[in-house]
């Protein structure tokens, strides 16, 4: 179950990125359950699929390294 952020101001909804990283198996489940469509969004969350994870055990892939890019 995906928890929606609560008490989010309209300003934050327009200016903050709400990102959720999922593995391919979770993406498949979300698509088959009808929760994830072409927009790749569920509520405020933008869904990003992490591919080629370094672990085969899903319990180990719960943490995805954050790669931060600085603006030019």
Which tens digit of pLDDT belongs to each residue from 19-64?
988 888 888 988 998 888 888 988 889 999 988 877 766 665 555 5
- Classify strands 45-49 and 19-22 as parallel, antiparallel or unpaired: parallel
Res 50: pLDDT: 85
Res 53: pLDDT: 73
Quote the tokens at residue 14. 């327009």
Res 69: pLDDT: 55
Task: List, in sequence order, every residue forming a beta bridge with 22; answer none if it has no partner.
Answer: 49
Are 38 and 65 in contact, with CB atoms under 8 Å apart?
no
Task: List, in sequence order, every residue forming a beta bridge with 41; answer none if it has no partner.
Answer: 46
At residue 10 the predicted structure's pLDDT band, cuts being 50, 70 and 90, is very high
At residue 66 the predicted structure's pLDDT band, cuts being 50, 70 and 90, is low
């Amino acid at each position: 179950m995906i928890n929606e952020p609560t008490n989010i101001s309209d300003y934050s909804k327009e200016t903050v990125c709400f990102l959720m990283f999922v593995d391919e198996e979770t993406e498949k489940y979300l698509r088959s359950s009808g929760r994830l469509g072409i927009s790749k969004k569920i509520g405020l969350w933008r869904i990003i699929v992490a591919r080629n994870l370094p672990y085969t055990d899903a319990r180990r892939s719960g943490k995805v390294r954050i790669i931060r890019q600085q603006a030019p």
